[in-house]
Structure 1
Amino acid sequence: MSRARLLPIVLIAAVLLAATSTSANAKHRQAEIVSPADRTQAPRSGQVRVVIDGNGIPRSSLLVELVTGKGRSRRERDLTGQLQVSDGSLVTELEAGDLVPGRSEIRLGERRGRHGVRRLDKARFSWEPSIDEVTAGRCDVLDPSRCLLPFPNDRFTEADAASDTGRRLSLDAASMPANTAGSAIDPSEWNRNDGFSPGSLVITFVPGIDLVATGVAPVTDIGRSLDRRSPIVLLDADTGERHPFWAELDADASGSEDQGLLIRPAVNLEEGHRYVVALRDLRSADGAILPAGRPFALYRDGIPTYLSALEERRPHMESMFRTLRRAGVRRSDLYLAWDFTVASEQNLAGRLLHIRDDAFASLQGAAPDFSVTGVEDFPDPVAEPQLRRRVSGTFSVPSYLTGTGAPGSRFTVGPDDLPVRNGDLEASFICNVPRSVVGPGGAVAPARLGVYGHGLLGGNGEVNAGNVQDMAVEHNFVFCATNWIGMASEDIGNAVAILGNFSLFPTLADRVQQGILNTLFLGRLMVHASGLAASPAFSLGTPEVPVLDRSDLFYDGNSQGAIIGGAATAVAQDWTRAVLGVPGMNYSTLLNRSVDFDTYALIFEPAYPDPLDRQLVLSLVQMLWDRAEANGYAHHMTDDPYPGTPAHDVLLHVAFSDHQVANVTAEVEARTIGAAARQPALAPGRHSDVEPLWRIPAIPAYPYDGSAVVYWDSGNPPPPPTNIAPRDGEDPHEKPRRQPAARLQKSAFLRTGGAVVDTCGGVPCLAP
């Protein structure tokens, strides 16, 4: 047959084959569920649109069912009768009242008379009205009260093989607390962190909890936190050991509907370790057990969902439950549990250590450049019995801040995430030479050298205070001071701006670190042969000779000078002994417990009116404040020094029931740095704790070679057992430094080969 005659036959066959195929497909094509898609999450509203494509099957033959629940709660409901025709499909709408939380299923079948129902399709979905599926990817569903609760939380970190902890924060800007102007905190600087604060303020919200009925360890009974059946467990997941803490409800909140549960470590957490927080057997005031929230129960009880943000976390939660089980915490008892990783040593101190090492290397063994700008003599001992000469001036320090380094400036950061030098800045100093350096006949007794650290948002002029002058003349010290820039009087305007918008907080943390470097440079200027001692301004007597004993250098700071001074001491290379007067650490604990914060709360609270948000802000900012105060450095302040840094001995002088710096923070600091306590610390009954100075060992004998904590009692009532400031009686904050016995004890400690001695005659130290 010719090709021309064959072509029409082939075309006809192809058409017949296509028609047969189409007819067969139509015959075997079955009805299907178009919506909801299989294995999906229903919206929180419970509104589910059911769309059926019948594909030619008579409507009377279709069966559409909704299956909810399981076991005895399983229910099957026929939806066929409520289907409506829309654009060629069969449609019905489900609402929240049609559903139950958990997995459900839409089933589609064809009725076959006596042969029952032929199953055609199914669509499985889950519905969890307690979970906002829109925000579940950036919030933690475990505590629906606030996006970032519970906090701190590894839910807000991601894997990072380049970090020392293997984690890196990944906070979403849309999840951060916002001020009343609608400006959310910019998380960029926080997201540089590889973990959370070693002194983390742990926050969650537990509706209806009664701490007494629950048996939670309060600040007055920290030892109870380690009881086998403690309802709150803070577990070091790396070691399996329980960590001591106390818990309290936020007394700063206006009512129970926004009163956070606050958990605070009683000794700082270990750097780089992962911790699990477990709450169990929580009770209301009538003793009833509080049921776990549905989001946590989904994990605890193994209830599956189709919410990807939740299911991706399930393997990690299962691992956490196994960790708790090994520690004796039963999964079935849990109300809530989560975990977080503490920042590494490098993350906490790396920036300050870097600028220290870089700046001092630039000196190449020389003294910092300086200029004496003022010399004031006091020749008349009657008119001025303490001071012989006051010297003021400036000195140059490498700057790592943007611009001129003025208030509000930030670190200039390089590609390695470390500060980069940006020229120099000029820091000011004031030094006071006591009358004691010049004896009868003009003989000079060179004075010991002390760097003095000033108080809250003050300045170097505090070195002129009477108690500092008393210490200088009684014990022959020359004290010099510079400003703690970042938290000096010149920074008050920036501090006020921060309180209204915490996106600005990195400016404080960065500038305080520069201020610590300035203080270290002042110390080098004091002990270097080509430093202050080379200036005629520091020579007196007949004949004139230098009045500075450069053989050693010491540190003495009060209040903020103790809080920031603890960080400075931890990184100091030129002094190894420090007195921290009325000390503390961890501003997330300090602020609510200080009368000093009353003024600043007038700005902070209107800007962030929600009490839970305010506590969350304090926990967040502590992560950056750690870089600039003792809390971030306490583990290395004494006997575990940083590389290239000597060990230090530290003496803590605490004013009992201090209105400005909370005693409890000084005790946390004492435990963390390994200080021993002078006993008897207080008269019996004065301290309100079940076991006063819990796990702070007593000094075994005098003189004592090591770090110590000493209480000075002015007779005030004990501090409140919650996060509010003491207000009864006269504020004892400045009284310890005014006591001759306290100054004598400091003098015995602040000397080469010094030690802690008892200057109170074996009874409690008093500071009337």
Structure 2
Amino acid sequence: MSIRSLMRSAAGRVLAAALAVAAVTAGLTSPAAAQSRATAEKAPAHTGCDPIAGPTCLLPYPDDWYTRPDRWTPTGRRLDFSASDLPVSALAGPTDPTAWNRLDGFSPGSALVLTVPGLDPAASGLAPITDIGRSLAPSAPIVILDQTTGTRWPYWAELDANDPQHRALLVHPARDFLDGHHYVVGIRNLRTATGAPIPPPAPFARILGHRLPKQDPLRERQSELKPDLRTLTRDGVRTSDLYLAWDFTVASAASLTGDLTSIRDDAFARLGSAAPAFTVTSVTDLTPTQDPDIARVVDGTIQLPSYLSQPGGPTGSVFNRGPDGRPAQLPGNIQTANFRCEIPRAAWTKPSQAALYGHGLLGSRDEVGAANVRAMAGEHDFTFCATDWIGMAAEDQNTVVAALGNLNAFPEVTERVQQGVLNAMFLGRALVNPAGFAASSAFRAPDGHPLLDPRAGVVYDGNSQGGIVGGVLVAASPDVKRGVLGVTGMNYSLLLNRSVDFAALQPALDAGYPDKLQQQLVFQLTQLLWDHAETDGYAEHLTDGRQVLMDVAFGDHQVANVSADVEARTIGARLHVPAVAVGRSPDVVPYWGIAPSPTVRYQGSAMVVWDSGTPPAPLTNTAPTGPRYGHDPHEDPRNSPLVRLQKAVFLTTGVVIDVCGGAPCTEPPAS
């Protein structure tokens, strides 16, 4: 069953039940959460919504108005949302800000969100998705300045095509903002379709004027924005041209990744030099007639500390947090993670390369038995092992649907995913520790010779969600130094509107947050939590001492190519060139800002685009639905023998070879 079919049927089965759960739990807050919220709100930096841009709270977004000074964080700030700032779920009521207020800044993948009545992007000269380079022009109407370095930041701007009522302006960073940096935004010279200038919002116009009297409610805001206006002026932006200006701080690496790295460090310190505890539950030997590639399937469980709030960490669990706010193991709480391994026939001749496999959207470890994975194992002597990405596995479907209608439930997704990543790390350690799987009879031939080579280490290969979450595993694992991220991207807040998969889940979001403008803010708020559990929060340091190969399907219907492009720019991946045939890309400069691979045998991280002939995706934030977008190429790269050859060479040597003969990489659609 395809991912889209799975999601349609799954959403149909569980939507009513999940939304009912969200309604039943409306307003329920644990005493610990309530106490944490009260502590966070003792001395807010501001009261109410930022007055500079009108009555809608959180606009513009992201905005340091919703932070407060904190000398204990790396950025010197901390998010300071109150329940009255955040969207209210029609199913579950107000949002408890505790999970957000742990952060010391905003997401590095944050889109800027605001409303500009009457705005015409073309008449205003906004940089579109097809011409990112225009965003850095001296006269660009939107200027994003990294105040830490003094440089301008690239972006593209679009109106929300899903919301003709509000037509929110969305400004997406073309490369993730840098962890811990401070940014100033200036928006100027905006125009309507007739070319008429759009005046600034009345409160901001007053701020731009003369010094306001002490009793004026905007006086303090005027003082706060004065340094930003000076910064913009130094960059050539005249205050008289401004429609709006504000600033925001990006969360530090410690804030983004600290929960996962803390449970990793604690769990591996407890493990020491030992192999993880595991149990083999079944060994199935296959004849060549049954499977020409795979000789043995091993199923089992692996045991490790659980840092979740319920015994055994079932779906719906969140982190159990200690006095320092970091996840802590409840006494005796053990996570039992299921695994499945596929051992190729080639291993009976030469011990195989150990590899972890990451499954797709709301799937399971059983995807390691898919035909393309078995073919890769058989052709290139890999033993692939997989565990479920708990938090985003088949068993979590109800939880995910409920969380879309109730922000209070969203940590149940992202915090359990982090435990799932730790599960995969322990599976990887069992593969490389000589006292682990290699010592088990299940991983030995009848004559006793090993079928695994733990000395070769462990590598990673994953597709779709396995690429999006797999980037976290590669970034954080103590054992995985090289990984393939197939049909990948990052930043779910950018992806969801652009994915055909989200149509099946959209009713859950509509039920909780029916207003389309609020939905854009919900996407941004969930991204603040997603950053802990998907590549976006780890991207800046993903390739520090590690290598990744990104395989992209041109025109992908499920994981938008723009999200892969942002990832490639952020991690510094080089591009196989020519990437696509002339005329295939609608961009003025195709793959702007992604440097080409310097050689046909490139040692480093890279992105390769595979073209099955599918039309380009929409240029709006909408999914490629309908016949005019043709065949969905999402599964094509993994089914190509050439792709599997390139992956195998990369995973075992770190070299990206050109398997396309110096031409764009093309592959007929998978049958």
**TM-score normalized with structure 1 length:** 0.79
- 1:652 and 2:550 matched: yes
Asked if the contact 2:212–2:218 (Cα under 8 Å) also holds between the matched residues in 1, the reply is no
Distance 1:182 1:456, change over 3 A: closer
Look up the equivalent residue of 1:613 and give its one-letter code: Q
**What is residue 396 of structure 1 aligned with on the other side?**
303
Distance (Å, rounded) in 2 between the aligned partners of 1:249 and 1:424: 47
Distance (Å, rounded) in 1 between the aligned partners of 2:600 and 2:551: 17
* Alignment deviations for residues 361-413 of structure 1 (CA, whole Å, 9 cap, x no partner): 101210000000011110x2123212100000001111110012111111111
- 1:634 and 2:539 matched: yes
C-alpha displacement at 1:303, in angstroms?
A: 5.7
Distance (Å, rounded) in 2 between the aligned partners of 1:755 and 1:308: 63
- 1:311 and 2:243 matched: no
**What is residue 167 of structure 2 aligned with on the other side?**
259
Distance (Å, rounded) in 2 between the aligned partners of 1:609 and 1:308: 36
**What is residue 437 of structure 1 aligned with on the other side?**
347
* Alignment deviations for residues 292-346 of structure 1 (CA, whole Å, 9 cap, x no partner): 1101111112362566653222221111110111111111110011110000111
Distance (Å, rounded) in 2 between the aligned partners of 1:182 and 1:292: 36
C-alpha displacement at 1:559, in angstroms?
A: 0.4
Look up the equivalent residue of 2:663 and give its one-letter code: V
**What is residue 611 of structure 2 aligned with on the other side?**
713
Distance (Å, rounded) in 2 between the aligned partners of 1:189 and 1:569: 25
* Alignment deviations for residues 41-61 of structure 1 (CA, whole Å, 9 cap, x no partner): xxxxxxxxxxxxxxxxxxxxx
Look up the equivalent residue of 2:112 and give its one-letter code: V
Aligned pairs for 1:56-205 (under 5 A) are 137-181=47-91, 183-205=93-115
Look up the equivalent residue of 1:432 and give its one-letter code: E
Mean Cα displacement is larger for which, 696-705 or 518-527?
696-705
- 1:764 and 2:664 matched: yes
Look up the equivalent residue of 2:196 and give its one-letter code: A
Distance (Å, rounded) in 1 between the aligned partners of 2:47 and 2:309: 36
Aligned pairs for 1:539-558 (under 5 A) are 539-540=444-445, 543-551=447-455, 552-558=457-463
Distance (Å, rounded) in 1 between the aligned partners of 2:573 and 2:405: 38
C-alpha displacement at 1:189, in angstroms?
A: 0.8
C-alpha displacement at 1:531, in angstroms?
A: 0.6
Distance (Å, rounded) in 1 between the aligned partners of 2:634 and 2:72: 45
Mean Cα displacement is larger for which, 516-525 or 600-609?
600-609
**What is residue 567 of structure 1 aligned with on the other side?**
472
C-alpha displacement at 1:427, in angstroms?
A: 0.4
C-alpha displacement at 1:754, in angstroms?
A: 2.8
Asked if the contact 1:145–1:205 (Cα under 8 Å) also holds between the matched residues in 2, the reply is no
Distance (Å, rounded) in 2 between the aligned partners of 1:540 and 1:632: 42
**What is residue 732 of structure 1 aligned with on the other side?**
633
Asked if the contact 1:678–1:709 (Cα under 8 Å) also holds between the matched residues in 2, the reply is yes
Distance 1:426 1:309, change over 3 A: farther
Distance (Å, rounded) in 2 between the aligned partners of 1:235 and 1:725: 31
Look up the equivalent residue of 1:212 and give its one-letter code: A
Moved over 6 A (4+): none
Look up the equivalent residue of 1:484 and give its one-letter code: W
**What is residue 507 of structure 1 aligned with on the other side?**
412
> Is the radius of gyration larger for structure 1 or structure 2?
1
Distance (Å, rounded) in 2 between the aligned partners of 1:399 and 1:750: 30
Aligned pairs for 1:225-624 (under 5 A) are 225-253=135-163, 255=164, 257-302=165-210, 304=212, 309-378=217-286, 380-404=287-311, 405-422=313-330, 423-438=333-348, 444-540=349-445, 543-551=447-455, 552-624=457-529
Distance 1:502 1:307, change over 3 A: farther
Distance (Å, rounded) in 2 between the aligned partners of 1:495 and 1:182: 15
SS of alignment partner, residue 467 of structure 1: helix
SS of alignment partner, residue 410 of structure 2: helix
C-alpha displacement at 1:756, in angstroms?
A: 0.3
SS of alignment partner, residue 685 of structure 1: coil
- 1:671 and 2:569 matched: yes
C-alpha displacement at 1:141, in angstroms?
A: 1.1
**What is residue 125 of structure 2 aligned with on the other side?**
215
SS of alignment partner, residue 481 of structure 1: strand
C-alpha displacement at 1:509, in angstroms?
A: 1.3
Look up the equivalent residue of 1:233 and give its one-letter code: V
SS of alignment partner, residue 172 of structure 2: strand
Look up the equivalent residue of 1:333 and give its one-letter code: D
* Alignment deviations for residues 92-127 of structure 1 (CA, whole Å, 9 cap, x no partner): xxxxxxxxxxxxxxxxxxxxxxxxxxxxxxxxxxxx
Look up the equivalent residue of 1:241 and give its one-letter code: T
* Alignment deviations for residues 38-94 of structure 1 (CA, whole Å, 9 cap, x no partner): xxxxxxxxxxxxxxxxxxxxxxxxxxxxxxxxxxxxxxxxxxxxxxxxxxxxxxxxx
SS of alignment partner, residue 274 of structure 2: coil
SS of alignment partner, residue 576 of structure 1: strand
Question: Mind listing any 5+ residue stretches in structure 2 that lack a counterpart?
Answer: 1-45
SS of alignment partner, residue 500 of structure 2: coil
* Alignment deviations for residues 415-437 of structure 1 (CA, whole Å, 9 cap, x no partner): 22211112211000000011222
Look up the equivalent residue of 1:208 and give its one-letter code: G
Asked if the contact 1:137–1:309 (Cα under 8 Å) also holds between the matched residues in 2, the reply is no
- 1:687 and 2:562 matched: no
Distance (Å, rounded) in 1 between the aligned partners of 2:458 and 2:276: 16
C-alpha displacement at 1:730, in angstroms?
A: 1.2
Question: Mind listing any 5+ residue stretches in structure 1 that lack a counterpart?
Answer: 1-135, 439-443, 640-646
Look up the equivalent residue of 2:247 and give its one-letter code: D
C-alpha displacement at 1:767, in angstroms?
A: 2.1
- The aligned length equals 617
C-alpha displacement at 1:146, in angstroms?
A: 1.0
C-alpha displacement at 1:675, in angstroms?
A: 0.5
C-alpha displacement at 1:214, in angstroms?
A: 0.5
Distance (Å, rounded) in 2 between the aligned partners of 1:200 and 1:432: 39
Distance (Å, rounded) in 1 between the aligned partners of 2:215 and 2:64: 19
* Alignment deviations for residues 597-646 of structure 1 (CA, whole Å, 9 cap, x no partner): 0000021123211111000010011011100000000011103xxxxxxx
Distance (Å, rounded) in 1 between the aligned partners of 2:328 and 2:158: 42
Distance (Å, rounded) in 2 between the aligned partners of 1:305 and 1:606: 45
Which structure is richer in relative contact order (CA contacts within 8 A, separation 6 or more)? 2
Asked if the contact 1:713–1:766 (Cα under 8 Å) also holds between the matched residues in 2, the reply is yes
SS of alignment partner, residue 548 of structure 1: coil
**What is residue 224 of structure 1 aligned with on the other side?**
134
Distance (Å, rounded) in 1 between the aligned partners of 2:98 and 2:215: 28
Look up the equivalent residue of 1:735 and give its one-letter code: D
Distance (Å, rounded) in 1 between the aligned partners of 2:418 and 2:213: 48
Distance (Å, rounded) in 2 between the aligned partners of 1:480 and 1:627: 24
Look up the equivalent residue of 2:513 and give its one-letter code: Y
Asked if the contact 1:324–1:330 (Cα under 8 Å) also holds between the matched residues in 2, the reply is yes
Distance (Å, rounded) in 2 between the aligned partners of 1:181 and 1:692: 44
Give percent identity, aligned residues only.
Answer: 52
C-alpha displacement at 1:145, in angstroms?
A: 4.3
**TM-score normalized with structure 2 length:** 0.90
Distance (Å, rounded) in 2 between the aligned partners of 1:190 and 1:252: 26
Asked if the contact 2:91–2:511 (Cα under 8 Å) also holds between the matched residues in 1, the reply is no
Asked if the contact 1:593–1:723 (Cα under 8 Å) also holds between the matched residues in 2, the reply is yes
Distance 1:619 1:309, change over 3 A: farther
SS of alignment partner, residue 320 of structure 1: helix
